[in-house]
Structure 1
């Protein structure tokens, strides 16, 4: 899985201004403070603490969040994550709300599933990328009895309502099956701002499924409120030129948990620069949706499976963009071609 470390962060010299557009500071570079798992903490030129969440949310990510925010006044968390462990997502979201931290999904960034809970928890919320919701399930994917399922759904609905989440997002998270994702993007930004009358604003998003690949229609909002102020030039990151990976791929994998050679195929659809959504299936009957993030000849993939589990993979890309090879955290070594 892709991780942003302190050396990389300093090397790209992000120029960050948050709540201090007129601040005078001779040092205009972001200062690296700490890194815990997928979380990186930096300080802006005006000494504002900003936290980045890049990559999947695992069970230990909650402990990482506790450690990196302890005795620190973090004002903003920038999100770019396909989700992951539901329990960790809930705990982090509750702390974000309790600490009054603002949340932001940057342009071309994606925050889905358990990550969306963290976004909705923000004291102030800015949406310039995409946020995806669906029915939340435990990562283990074990079948719940009816009582446990209802209890989980009830807790999540209560949590979303406490965050002043727009009604349409609450509804879509309840009815969108785990193999699908319901996406909201930049046209919905005003709808997710705090204090907006949800009864006046309802903008349909887009449904993406691994089995149907059909999209929901987009409608015009009844009212579009005036956008709230947003951070000033929060992050400027140069793009890395990479081969185009959009299209259909075949895959072969050997995994430690089975003696069967896994044969599969997936479709990569470009959603932003160096970023693709994936629809996957294989000869074991497994299907899933995912996200591929590309950095030159390196890439990381996170897949959410139809059984509720998730896996992450690191891979290399050939110069022509026709061959991928790598390994995943569930013990698989694979290659893909087209």
Structure 2
């Protein structure tokens, strides 16, 4: 029974892993990790269901189809605009090249007439295009300088010059564009510059295909780089989260080890200081004994002992006299306040007697002299 349940758990775990990988691959722009999907299984299922209706950029299938149509239409319009713009720029470059050549050398009159007619046609066409209101401009806007397209069209060169220009224009334009294409080919592949013109023309036909392939490769590399960037960001976040966990674990281990070591260290420090204090005390006692031995001899010590015994006897007799006096004083206090007055008077008389005895003694001593 346990083997069957373990196999079921392994299968479910494998399905969850594949589901997580599918969701992460379907939404590369979302800042999610596998832990987020594991902690929110219902949200993971919702994203897995959304993968059937949206693409990697988050657009729905109908909106994606409509967007592709609009992009295709926009590409066609861009292509048309680029075609007309390329022709216009090419004609402008032809006119500029003619102006440069005209200052360097003398061209035939028919060439001057051709380029003057071309330049005038371009100027008139540009003016008519700016004056001609389209659906994107305001129909009621004022005219530039009061001119109308019909008035500008009157400035066209003579029809004969235009008719002579048209057959020559295609050849000249084709020649100019071919020279530009060959210069582009030389810039794209400098090693082909020494090839013959026919070989260059043949290779020029394949440049667009090769450029398209390189563009697709660049886009593929760009997409791969973007996916690698997203993957790197996820791995960086995962690495940082794991690193933070390791740091917390290491801090807890260091704290526990530090507490244990600190207790042993404190106990050893206490033992050390106790021993040191005991040693200092023994040294002090030794110094005191040494000082006494250096200061006092044997005779001095015996004399001090006799003096001490005599002083102790005198102190003992003084204490006995003090106790007897205190007993007499306590007996006198029992007699009351009248005896205290008599005692004070007795003391005063004794002091006067002592003073007079001292005075008589001093007087008799003076008479003897």
* TM-score of the two chains, using structure 1 as the length reference: 0.16
* TM-score of the two chains, using structure 2 as the length reference: 0.15
Larger radius of gyration: 2
Greater helix share, 1 or 2? 2
Query: Larger relative contact order (C-alpha < 8 A, sep ≥ 6)?
Result: 1
